[in-house]
Copies of this chain bind each other. A is one copy, B any other.
Amino acid sequence: MSLIVQKYGGTSVGNVDRIKNVASRVAKTKAEGNDVVVVVSAMSGETDKLIGLANQISERPDEREMDMLLSTGERVTIALLAMALNEMGVPAVSFTGRQSGIITDSAHTRARIKSIDGGRISQAVKAGKVVIVAGFQGITEDSNVTTLGRGGSDLTAVAVAAALKADFCDIYTDVDGVYTTDPNIVQKARKLDKISYDEMLEMASLGAKVLQTRSVEFAKKYDVPVRVLSSFHDVPGTLVTKEDSSMEKVVVSGVAYDKNQAKITVADVPDKPGVAAKLFNTISGSKIIVDMIIQNIGRDGITDISFTVPKSDLKTILPVIKSAAKEIGAADVVVNEDISKVSIIGVGMRSHSGVAAKMFNALAADGVNIMMISTSEIKVSCVIEQKYTELAVRALHDAFGLDKA
């Protein structure tokens, strides 16, 4: 008998019939002798519908109120799923983020979990109930409702699993596991049996939308075994777990891409100490994730600084950057939304050389120009013109032989 946390996304609970299907799956897991805690998202489309309403009222709605609004989506789903289980004779109870003891900071619309008191969940589980937890939401210490940002339900699931010391955190999605790359682009993409936290982290942060980044970080920190599974087909998924020696033998595990980045260039920046620091201090105050920072070699006492940010944050960050640019005496701020980032990922890179060169060669062979490069221990990313994305992904998947196990 295990304690299993299951998470179902918006598509899996997209209508009443699907909610009933989820209930059956939960009931089956319970009938097999497991304790089950379920985390659910809002029904697909609901969050966007609510955002639409808010945007009809304000271009930049008050963020505390946005959280009040968006948190309703998950509450609808937890109630309906609990009803469905009770209707099947499986005792179930729904808990909001607050009732689940999820305390966050007060960064509305992108709050971070500070602590979870799993007491109330544990108590209900011990009483034989399936507990349904609202994903994506928490509460501040002074009792305001917060949300965890897009994909936050994954984080809720992993955090609840960590707090309860669950045996598995099963993330049910509309794909049946983690693939070497997007199967919509590369037909020969192959499902991975397992992947390390670090690789998954790079995959997630680079736009493979299977798992939300912070949830993987959380899983890594608390060593929560996460399984990515299909909510529609009963097939083995992918286990996200600690790195082991078998993983290191594979140089590249996957190819990821991200079309949702924009490149911002702050042009003609005075090339002297402290200028970049001033710029990024200002930006970091806005809590927006900046990636791939590159500073050109200075000429004539001036230089350019480029970096990428999520496109969705452009509206928020551009005024900040423009005022910061003015302050540091830069000439111009140029935005390019027509880019994408392609990346190769693998823990094996640590012990293999020449990986980046092989990547650049593969791209060059297909005539893809590289605009920016960044590397970490286990990944190499290139920013390219967006129209080349699919071509580049296929070239890299081939070059590193990812179709073969």
Interface of A is mostly: helix
Quick check: B80 and A53 within 8 Å, CB to CB? yes
Residue from B19, B53, B56 in contact with A57 in the complex, judged by beta carbons closer than 8 Å: B19
Quick check: A61 and B75 within 8 Å, CB to CB? no
Cβ–Cβ < 8 Å partners of A78 in chain B: 68
Chain A's interface size range is 35 or more
Q: How far is the CB of A235 from chain B (nearest CB, A)?
A: 27
Residue among A20, A50, A58, A79 with max Cβ neighbours from chain B (10 Å): A79
Interface flag for A62 (CB, 8 Å): yes
Cα–Cα distance between A82 and B83 once the two chains are bound (Å): 31
Q: How many identical chains are in the complex?
A: 2
Q: How far is the CB of A273 from chain B (nearest CB, A)?
A: 41
Cα–Cα distance between A336 and B19 once the two chains are bound (Å): 38
Quick check: B58 and A69 within 8 Å, CB to CB? no
Quick check: A57 and B83 within 8 Å, CB to CB? yes
Residue from B65, B76, B99, B145 in contact with A82 in the complex, judged by beta carbons closer than 8 Å: B65
Quick check: B76 and A61 within 8 Å, CB to CB? no
Cα–Cα distance between A145 and B79 once the two chains are bound (Å): 11
Quick check: B79 and A58 within 8 Å, CB to CB? no
Interface flag for A267 (CB, 8 Å): no
Smallest CB-CB separation from A95: which chain B residue?
B68
Interface flag for A371 (CB, 8 Å): no
List residues of A (83-115) whose CB comes within 8 Å of B's CBs.
Answer: 83-84, 86-87, 93-94, 96, 98-99
Q: How far is the CB of A58 from chain B (nearest CB, A)?
A: 4
Cα–Cα distance between A79 and B51 once the two chains are bound (Å): 11
Residue from B20, B58, B75 in contact with A71 in the complex, judged by beta carbons closer than 8 Å: B75
Interface flag for A72 (CB, 8 Å): yes
Residue from B75, B76, B87, B96 in contact with A58 in the complex, judged by beta carbons closer than 8 Å: B87
Smallest CB-CB separation from A75: which chain B residue?
B72
Interface flag for A361 (CB, 8 Å): no
Cβ–Cβ < 8 Å partners of A61 in chain B: 83, 86-87
Q: How far is the CB of A327 from chain B (nearest CB, A)?
A: 28
Quick check: A68 and B53 within 8 Å, CB to CB? no
Interface flag for A399 (CB, 8 Å): no
Interface flag for A250 (CB, 8 Å): no
Quick check: A79 and B65 within 8 Å, CB to CB? yes
Residue from B16, B19, B54 in contact with A83 in the complex, judged by beta carbons closer than 8 Å: B54
Quick check: A16 and B72 within 8 Å, CB to CB? no
Interface flag for A351 (CB, 8 Å): no
Quick check: A69 and B65 within 8 Å, CB to CB? no
List residues of A (317-370) whose CB comes within 8 Å of B's CBs.
Answer: none
Quick check: B76 and A64 within 8 Å, CB to CB? no
Smallest CB-CB separation from A86: which chain B residue?
B62
Interface flag for A66 (CB, 8 Å): yes
Residue from B64, B69, B143 in contact with A75 in the complex, judged by beta carbons closer than 8 Å: B69
Quick check: A56 and B86 within 8 Å, CB to CB? no
Quick check: A84 and B72 within 8 Å, CB to CB? no
The 5 closest A-B pairs by CB, nearest first: A69-B79, A72-B72, A68-B79, A58-B87, A16-B56
Residue contacts A-B, CB under 8 angstroms, 27 given = A16-B57, A19-B57, A20-B57, A50-B76, A53-B80, A54-B83, A57-B84, A58-B86, A58-B87, A61-B83, A61-B86, A61-B87, A62-B82, A62-B86, A64-B93, A65-B83, A65-B86, A65-B94, A66-B79, A68-B78, A68-B79, A68-B94, A69-B75, A69-B79, A72-B76, A75-B75, A99-B143
